[in-house]
Structure 1
Amino acid sequence: METMTDTARGDAATPLDSWAPVVLWSKPEDERRGTPLLVLFHGYMADEADLMGLTDHLPAEFTVASVRAPLPAGPGFSWFPLERDADYSVEHVVESVTAVSAWLDGVRGVHSSVSILGFSQGMGVATSLLRHRPTDFACVVGLSGFAVPAEDHAFFRDDAVAASRTPFFWGRDQEDPVITAEMIEFTHAWLVKHTALTKILYSNMFHGINLRELGHVREFLSMTVLGRR
């Protein structure tokens, strides 16, 4: 698999309203037109390279774009402060997802559809994008992650999400040591109420991704986006 990197680079000093992310692409620009796009959002303290290894396990028809989060965090990057951090707020989530949405608007036009996949904190980004733009995505994949409690913020159009019932794949391990039980309970209730949910549990995966799950993700994308049965 060859990967291409956009030359525009996110920077901690760059305001999010003018943020241009680092992006790894699975296909060169001249091969992307007309293909379905799958955008990957990595987890906390990771970067855009972290999920690109998934590409070899996904349908070859997709163009895959893996995006770097805007905020430095440890050895990697973060989409927004963690809920336990003193500077966490729903408004910080909104700022980050607004920036990602603006970037997506600049690239979606050449693709036949857009789907999104998030791991861990990246699932918080993916679900928040769906909640902001309920009809924009062919499907959403969430791996070992969560949805953000929105506190009735107007950014999150949950009624419209429920009306659209976007296909959603959620894979996790019940023994995941990272995502709290309270967050899992909220996420499960939200997904059941608002999406066409496919939920699969995996044992001995903990806070990770395994090959069995990737096989299911491949099948889900093939059926949902490519129309294969």
Structure 2
Amino acid sequence: MTEPNPVVLWSKPEAERAGTPLLVLFHGYLANEEDLMGLADYLPEDFTIASVRAPQAMGPGYTWFPLMSDADYSVESVVDSVTDVSAWLDGVSGAHSSVSLLGFSMGMAVATTLLRHRPQDFAAVVGLSGFVVPAEENPFFHDGELAQHKVPFFWGRDQADPVIDPQRIEYTHAWLNGHTALTKILYSNMGHGINMQELGHVKEFLAHTVLRGAQKA
């Protein structure tokens, strides 16, 4: 059962958020909203960061939807989860100068699904050690519109990531190339995780695509 309003951890008190660019974080499988907040210290301080908890309790944490290898996985389960996040975002995005997304592992699937549902609403998207789900012709996904818009996208991973299988990587790579303005960087000896070099690149990417882009506008 999903919650109508997700649990969200904020990097700044409400009084300090107005007019700032918003960066929304989506954690991975069996984690929670606290998992990625440690990244805040390594990202541009201009951003207000909101880390969202997945809706379904599972094991030691939460999940956004069943694993793709599970029998009860469906694209509808992904859509249901992202629909709730999209509704929450409608209530907060107006206070910010822009909205960007960052997802780790399964959270990258959430971030990309949200991007595909709202192709013109996000300044930039970051995907770390994650994947994209096949749309299976579900009308929630507006991939054709997104392919025309080409949102800046950073995709970082380890070539030897032991969690995301080659089939999903191949699909994700092809999809990102066809639908986004892709920056792809591989990191050795990182496994299924995030390292300091990658965080440095993410900080540069967000500063260049969101902050400098806003200054030029």
Fold similarity call, TM over 0.5: yes
Between the aligned partners of 1:136 and 1:56, the Cα distance in structure 2 is: 25
Residues 26-59 of structure 1 deviation map (CA, whole Å, 9 limit, x = unaligned): 0000000000000000000000000000000000
1:144 alignment partner in structure 2: 129
The partner residue of 1:73 within 55, 58, 62 is 58
Deviation at 1:176, TM superposition (A): 0.2
Quick one: percent identity of the two aligned structures?
Answer: 71
2:6 alignment partner in structure 1: 21
Deviation at 1:152, TM superposition (A): 1.2
Letter of the 1:51 counterpart: L
Superposition pairs of residues 115-130 of structure 1, within 5 angstroms? 115-130=100-115
Deviation at 1:182, TM superposition (A): 0.3
Conservation of the 8 A alpha-carbon contact between 1:47 and 1:77: yes
Between the aligned partners of 2:195 and 2:4, the Cα distance in structure 1 is: 32
Work out whether 1:158 is the aligned partner of 2:143.
yes
2:78 alignment partner in structure 1: 93
Conservation of the 8 A alpha-carbon contact between 1:39 and 1:115: yes
Residues 171-223 of structure 1 deviation map (CA, whole Å, 9 limit, x = unaligned): 00000000010000000000000000000000000100000000000000000
RMSD across aligned C-alpha pairs, in angstroms? Answer: 1.1
Between the aligned partners of 2:8 and 2:115, the Cα distance in structure 1 is: 20
Work out whether 1:64 is the aligned partner of 2:64.
no
Superposition pairs of residues 71-220 of structure 1, within 5 angstroms? 71-220=56-205
1:5 alignment partner in structure 2: none
Residues 47-104 of structure 1 deviation map (CA, whole Å, 9 limit, x = unaligned): 0000000000000000000000000111000000111111110001010011110000
User: Structure 1-normalised TM-score?
Assistant: 0.92
Superposition pairs of residues 6-17 of structure 1, within 5 angstroms? 12=1, 16=2
SS class of match (1:94): helix
Deviation at 1:21, TM superposition (A): 1.1
> Any gaps of 5 or more consecutive residues in structure 2?
none
User: Structure 2-normalised TM-score?
Assistant: 0.97
Conservation of the 8 A alpha-carbon contact between 1:19 and 1:70: no
1:4 alignment partner in structure 2: none
Conservation of the 8 A alpha-carbon contact between 1:42 and 1:68: yes
Between the aligned partners of 1:20 and 1:104, the Cα distance in structure 2 is: 10
1:6 alignment partner in structure 2: none
Give 4+ residue runs of structure 1 displaced > 6 Å after superposition.
none
- Aligned residue-pair number: 214
